[in-house]
Amino acid sequence: MKRRVFLQRIGVVATLPVFSFLLPIQVVANGIKQTAIEPLNKPHKVWRSLVSPEAYRVLFEEHTEQPGSSELNHEHREGTFICAACYLPLFESQHKYESGSGWPSFTQPISGHIGTKRDFKLIILRTEYHCARCGGHQGHVFKDGPPSRGERWCNNGLALKFVLKTDQLPALRS
Ligand SMILES: [Zn+2]
């Protein structure tokens, strides 16, 4: 009995990082208490009809687009980068920078709008990140970014849409 309880606990600990984006977390940023993002549990097959096949492969099968292939690499206007699936705002343009990697890169995401999990696909440990609302894969975060945070949020352009500051953000997809 004791052994079973122990194994159950290990099981819970092992699955926590994977489902961390599902946990209701209150985020405090700049002294402002933000409401946690409520997960949108839409089946993958529904997303398949809402996004392009290329975007679907990145967002819901964790593919990586070819470096240098995204028009968003050259997007330097003021605005917001939103999730290409559910339209949740993920990055602000003032945090975009040229990393030289060939993928749109940011120094930080919008607080509370991103979830992370550990990814061992390439043998080396990487930190995968995704939209906190729909779970759509966005990219990986590395610790070789510019000061002060030292973070490089390396994003697939196919997983994002850009909205000019002068345009209204689209309503979140439900
Ligand atoms: Zn999303």
Contact 129, 18 (CB under 8 A): no
CA distance 46 to 76: 32
Active-site positions? 154
Residue 142 lies in a domain: yes
When divided into structural domains, the chain yields a total of 1
Percent over 90 (pLDDT), the chain: 72
Helix, strand or coil, per DSSP, at residue 31: coil
In the chain, the largest separation of any two C-alpha atoms, in whole Å, equals 62
Residue 6 Cα, ligand 1 centroid: separation in angstroms?
35
| Three-state helix/strand/coil letters over 49-109 | CCCCHHHHHHHHHCCCCCCCCCHHHHCCCCEEEEECCCCCEEEEHHHEECCCCCCCEECCC
Report if residue 93 sits inside a domain: yes
Other beta carbons less than 10 A from residue 154's beta carbon: 23
Asked if the structure places residue 171 within a domain, the reply is no
| 172 inside domain | no
Report CA(7)–ligand 1 centroid distance (Å).
Answer: 33
Residue at 170 is within a domain: no
Q: Is the pTM of this model over 0.85?
A: no
Identify the CA nearest to 102 among candidates 129, 138, 69.
Answer: 69
Distance (angstroms) between ligand 1 centre and the Cα of 88 equals 5
| Each residue's pLDDT tens digit, 109-130 | 999 999 999 887 777 789 999 9
Confidence of residue 95 (pLDDT cuts 50, 70, 90): very high
- Quick check: 21 pLDDT over 80? no
Ligand 1 centre and the CA of 2: distance in Å? 41
CATH number of residue 34's parent domain:
2.170.150.20
156 is in which domain, residue-wise?
2-164
Residue 11 C-alpha to ligand 1 middle, in angstroms?
27
Mean pLDDT for 52-58 is 98
Cα(45) to ligand 1 centroid in Å equals: 15
